[in-house]
Each structure stands twice: as structure tokens, then as C-alpha cells.
């Protein structure tokens, strides 16, 4: 977790402080940040996506003998702190939670592992135990002084950048040439919201300001009041669209075929199938290039329709899957760096408008693909990129098809359907439902299967042929 947070800090310069423990991390962006024009959905989805990607990428480094059994995913949300005092209270609240949880868990596992109690018994013993009681229990029964246990678990971890001196080279006389560089480092303190810790770090004072008073007691309800989450309009189709971040670079670094890389698209499709399997409320997925749209049914109550939870869950799961499945698709290509995706949620009130949305994405797929096919054919034939661009300026669809046919012998309509129409993924009813025996007591009937098709979804006939998708 800490290494992933460190990578996040290195990746996004606007993050000036982070604090984490257990399975959570908070990242603080500076007040003046213009990151993604402060669009909350983009900011939170990109960070959670990158974090997840790094987590999966780094797994082997930390658990060389353990297989990652399924894709981990994280939820994210934005909290705006109107003043430094509120940020201070927020941090105090998170660190208090870290302490309370860790103290409880330390007692619980001592009771189970050394005290011979069952998990139920341990739970019962700790039910009404106060903070002081727990410390005494640890001390008297197990000889543990809680304050001597690992600070990593007790206090959590802060990560922020400080200026360090780097030796960049040596002069001829052997004297080192030093330069100041901002580098992320790990810091711990009993009280991260205290003046002593905070005001002692020049970089925190510079980026965020100083704490004028200590924060003694926080009221969690007060802090939670800043955690409001917007909910998506009821009884509307929810579309979550994710899109690869800077995929022009990602595609170049990984030498994707131009303009379309079948393996890259296969990987996107594999991940989308996994998303459909994981989130039962998703009824339809449509993907093209580095983007995927996931349609959730109108009456979905997933995360009580909280936008940030739904977006982050899907984008994080997708990113996780992308890294995990990379080797299945690109067995000879190494993943050079962790990819990330942004995500957003849009509600569509009627079937017609939802279909218009999907048609818009498919039209986009066609226009881009036709343009890119021409563009790269021209470039491959010796034109420079700007010549190719000028050549295609203002050309109509039929002219582009003619160019492809006459100059390059390519009949556009015979190019792979996946490139021309994108990929649609949905469930269809099985003609012969199969019985799946999980264990002796439960026999599950599998009535649907997931299919990936490359078909025209603009025409009404597709929806008429698959009435169960939208009904």
C-alpha cells in the first residue's frame, strides 16, 4: 500500500500529502490544483485507477511466492476541506480510526492466537472494552505494551515530498556536484494532526500552511458532514464511461499496431467481460479504442447509486484486470508501466436517449477508424504526419473509402468488424440452460451466457433482436 501511494505521489505533482493505514489511503491535493480542471470524477477515478494498477504490478515484488488470486479494487471519493483546520480535523479523524482499529485487532488476534479463544469469544470479550481496558488486557494477559508495538500499524503512514540533496556528478577534482530534488518519503508520528509534527516540516508549511493550534478532539459526525456524496438520479440508465489516460503514449511505448491493435482491443474486451461478470447490474458494455461504456440497469441500487462509489469500483476493477490479464494477451510483451483510466457517470432517462448515446459512440468509432486507417496508410506510404493530416482535411467518408481502395487496395468494408464497429458485450439466454454444481447442497442453474459481438447497434434491429437487454 505504501509503495503504491509513493508511486501516486511521484505520478501526480499536485498531491502534496498522503496518509494511509490498513486498506485505505487519503491523498491531499493542493488548494490551487487545476488537475483535470478540478473535475471530481476525473480526479478520483484516475488516482484510484493508477493506485490499483500499481498495486497489481507490484504484487510479485512483495509476495514472490503468493499468487494474486483475483483482481483487487478500491473505492474512492473526494472530500473538499474548506480550511486547513478542517483538513487537520480530517487527518486526526483518520489517524484516530487507525489507532482504534489496530488496537482492537491486536487484542482480537492475541486472544485467538495465544489466548485460545474462538473468534466469537474474542469478539464478545472486546465488545464493551474501552481503550484503556484493551491496553490493560494486552499488558496483563499477553505482556504487550501497546505503545511498543510497530508504529507502522499503530500510527499509519504519511508520505510527502521533501527536498533532498542528490549528487548529480563529480567534478574533475572529485568534489560532488549536488542538486536539490523533491523526493517522496515516509514519515510517522503519534499525532499527524499535531503542531509538533506538522509545523516541523518545511514542505508541509509551504504547500499547505501551518497548524496554528493542536487538534485535540474531533467529532467524526462533523467530519462526515464534508463527505457528502452525490447520488445518481433514480430510475435512469446509468452509463459509466472509462477512458485510458494518455493512451497515445501508452500505445507508442507498447508498440501497438496502428491504427488498430487486435491484441490491445482483445485485452480491453477481456476486462469488460470480467466487469460484466462482477457487476450484476451491468446490462450492456460498448467499447472502442481505449474507452468502454458500461450501462447499469435503470433500477440499480449499486452503492445506493452513489456516483463516486460506482465509478471508482468499476474503473478500479477494470484497471486491476488490465494489468492481471496483460500477460495472457501479450505473452511476449512486457508491461512497461502501470496504465490508468478515468471514469465518469452519466444518467439517461429513456431507452431512446440511451440508444442515442450508444449510437454516438459507435459513430465516433467509425469516423475515427476510417480517418485513422487513411492517416496511417498515408504515413506508411511515406507521407509525413502533417502531410497526411492536410491531405485528409475536409474529405468526406466516400472520398476516404475511395482513397483507401485506389491508393492502397484496401476495401474499407472488409476490414475486421471489431475495428469498424467496436465491441458490444451483453448476456444472452442460453437455449439449453446448464446445471452447475457448486457443492452437494446447491445446484445453480446457468441460464445466460456472456457474448462479445461486433455489430451495428445504431440500427433498431439490434435492440429488437435482443429485447432482454433493455427490458
Non-local CB neighbours of 441 within 8 Å, separated by 6+ positions: none
Non-local CB neighbours of 57 within 8 Å, separated by 6+ positions: 323, 335, 338
Q: Judged by CB under 6 A, which of 45, 289, 312, 370 binds ligand GTP?
A: 289
Give backbone dihedrals phi and psi of 175, rounded to 5 degrees, phi first. Answer: -80, 140
DSSP string of 418-445?
A: HHHH-EEEEEEEEEEEEEEE-SSS-EEE
Number of amino acids touching ligand GTP (CB under 6 A): 17
Q: Which is nearer to Mg ion, 207 or 243 (CB)?
A: 243
Choose the one of Mg ion, ligand GTP, none that binds residue 289, judging by a C-beta under 5 to 8 angstroms depending on kind: ligand GTP
What part of residues 261-290 is at the interface with Mg ion (CB under 5 A)?
290
Q: Which is nearer to ligand GTP, 197 or 337 (CB)?
A: 337
Distance CA 354, CA 47 (A): 28
Nearest approach, Cβ of 37 to Mg ion (angstroms)?
16
248 lies in the binding site for ligand GTP (CB under 6 A): yes
Q: Which is nearer to ligand GTP, 56 or 267 (CB)?
A: 267
Among 155, 156, 160, smallest CA distance to 204 is for 160
254 lies in the binding site for ligand GTP (CB under 6 A): no
Q: Judged by CB under 5 A, which of 156, 244, 338, 422 binds Mg ion?
A: 244
- Give the helix ranges, DSSP H, for 330-436: 351-380, 385-392, 397-408, 417-421
Nearest approach, Cβ of 239 to ligand GTP (angstroms)?
17
Q: Judged by CB under 6 A, which of 194, 244, 338, 343 binds ligand GTP?
A: 244
Choose the one of ligand GTP, Mg ion, none that binds residue 251, judging by a C-beta under 5 to 8 angstroms depending on kind: ligand GTP
256 lies in the binding site for ligand GTP (CB under 6 A): yes
290 lies in the binding site for ligand GTP (CB under 6 A): yes
344 lies in the binding site for ligand GTP (CB under 6 A): no
Q: How far apart are the first and last CA of the chain?
A: 42
Task: Return the sign of the alpha-carbon dihedral for residues 77, 83, 87, 93.
Answer: negative
Nearest approach, Cβ of 272 to ligand GTP (angstroms)?
14
Choose the one of ligand GTP, Mg ion, none that binds residue 248, judging by a C-beta under 5 to 8 angstroms depending on kind: ligand GTP
245 lies in the binding site for ligand GTP (CB under 6 A): yes
Binding piece for Mg ion, criterion CB under 5 A, among 18-26, 235-243, 303-311, 456-464: 235-243
Strands ordered across the beta sheet of 24-29: 24-29, 15-21, 157-170, 176-187
Q: Which is nearer to ligand GTP, 50 or 256 (CB)?
A: 256
272 lies in the binding site for ligand GTP (CB under 6 A): no
Q: Which is nearer to Mg ion, 25 or 247 (CB)?
A: 247
Would strands 443-453 and 341-348 be described as parallel, antiparallel, or unpaired?
unpaired
**Contact (CB, 8 A) for 311 and 47:** no
Q: Judged by CB under 6 A, which of 6, 74, 161, 243 binds ligand GTP?
A: 243
Distance CA 115, CA 142 (A): 8
Non-local CB neighbours of 314 within 8 Å, separated by 6+ positions: 240, 242, 275, 279, 294, 343
**Contact (CB, 8 A) for 318 and 260:** no
Distance CA 427, CA 417 (A): 20
**Contact (CB, 8 A) for 48 and 341:** no
Q: Which is nearer to ligand GTP, 19 or 256 (CB)?
A: 256
380 lies in the binding site for ligand GTP (CB under 6 A): no
Q: Judged by CB under 6 A, which of 139, 179, 246, 327 binds ligand GTP?
A: 246
247 lies in the binding site for ligand GTP (CB under 6 A): yes
Q: Which is nearer to ligand GTP, 416 or 433 (CB)?
A: 416
Nearest approach, Cβ of 44 to ligand GTP (angstroms)?
16
- E runs forming strands in 140-236: 157-170, 176-187
**Chain positions contacting ligand GTP, by CB under 6 A:** 243-248, 251, 256-261, 264-265, 289-290
**Chain positions contacting Mg ion, by CB under 5 A:** 243-244, 247, 290
Amino acid at each position: 500500500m505504501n509503495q503504491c501511494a509513493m508511486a501516486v505521489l511521484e505520478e501526480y505533482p499536485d498531491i502534496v500529502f498522503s496518509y494511509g493505514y490498513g486498506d485505505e489511503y487519503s491523498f491531499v491535493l493542493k488548494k490551487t490544483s487545476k488537475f483535470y480542471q478540478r473535475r471530481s470524477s476525473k480526479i478520483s477515478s484516475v488516482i484510484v485507477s493508477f493506485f490499483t494498477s500499481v498495486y497489481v504490478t507490484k504484487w510479485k515484488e512483495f509476495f514472490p511466492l503468493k499468487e494474486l488470486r483475483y483482481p483487487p479494487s478500491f473505492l474512492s471519493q473526494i472530500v473538499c476541506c474548506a480550511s486547513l483546520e478542517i483538513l487537520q480535523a480530517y487527518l486526526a479523524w483518520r489517524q484516530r480510526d487507525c489507532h482504534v482499529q489496530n488496537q482492537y485487532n491486536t487484542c482480537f488476534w492475541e486472544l485467538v492466537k495465544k489466548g485460545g479463544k474462538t473468534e466469537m469469544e474474542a469478539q464478545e470479550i472486546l465488545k464493551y472494552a474501552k481503550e484503556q481496558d484493551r491496553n490493560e488486557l494486552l499488558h496483563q494477559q499477553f505482556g504487550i505494551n501497546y505503545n511498543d508495538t510497530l508504529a507502522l500499524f499503530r500510527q499509519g503512514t504519511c508520505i510527502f515530498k521533501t527536498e533532498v540533496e542528490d549528487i548529480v556528478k563529480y567534478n574533475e577534482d572529485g568534489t560532488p556536484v549536488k542538486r536539490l530534488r523533491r523526493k517522496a518519503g515516509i514519515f510517522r508520528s503519534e499525532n499527524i494532526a499535531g503542531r509538533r509534527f506538522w509545523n516541523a516540516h518545511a514542505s508541509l508549511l509551504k504547500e499547505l500552511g501551518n497548524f496554528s493550534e493542536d487538534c485535540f478532539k474531533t467529532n467524526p459526525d462533523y467530519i462526515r458532514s464534508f463527505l457528502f456524496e452525490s447520488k445518481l438520479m433514480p430510475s435512469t440508465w446509468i452509463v459509466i464511461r472509462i477512458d485510458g489516460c494518455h493512451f497515445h503514449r501508452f500505445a507508442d511505448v507498447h508498440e501497438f499496431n496502428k491504427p488498430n491493435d487486435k491484441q490491445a482491443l482483445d485485452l480491453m474486451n477481456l476486462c469488460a467481460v470480467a466487469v460484466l461478470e462482477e457487476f450484476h447490474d451491468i446490462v450492456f458494455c460498448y467499447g472502442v479504442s481505449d474507452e468502454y461504456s458500461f450501462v447499469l440497469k435503470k433500477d440499480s441500487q449499486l452503492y445506493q447509486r452513489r456516483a463516486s462509489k460506482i465509478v471508482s469500483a468499476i474503473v478500479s476493477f477494470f484497471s486491476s484486470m488490465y494489468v492481471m490479464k496483460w500477460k495472457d494477451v501479450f505473452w511476449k510483451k512486457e508491461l512497461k508501466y502501470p496504465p490508468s483510466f478515468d471514469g465518469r457517470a452519466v444518467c439517461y432517462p429513456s431507452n431512446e436517449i440511451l440508444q442515442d448515446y450508444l449510437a454516438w459512440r459507435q459513430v465516433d468509432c467509425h469516423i475515427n477508424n476510417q480517418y485513422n486507417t487513411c492517416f496511417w496508410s498515408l504515413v506508411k506510404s511515406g507521407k509525413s504526419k502533417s502531410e497526411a493530416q492536410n491531405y485528409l482535411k475536409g474529405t468526406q467518408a466516400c472520398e476516404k473509402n475511395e482513397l483507401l481502395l485506389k491508393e492502397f487496395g484496401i476495401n474499407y468494408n472488409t476490414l475486421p468488424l471489431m475495428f469498424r464497429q467496436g465491441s458490444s458485450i451483453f448476456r444472452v439466454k442460453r437455449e439449453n440452460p446448464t446445471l452447475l454444481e457448486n457443492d452437494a447442497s446447491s445446484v445453480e442453474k446457468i441460464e445466460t451466457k456472456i457474448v462479445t459481438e461486433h455489430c451495428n447497434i445504431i440500427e433498431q434491429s439490434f435492440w429488437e433482436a435482443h429485447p432482454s437487454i433493455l427490458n
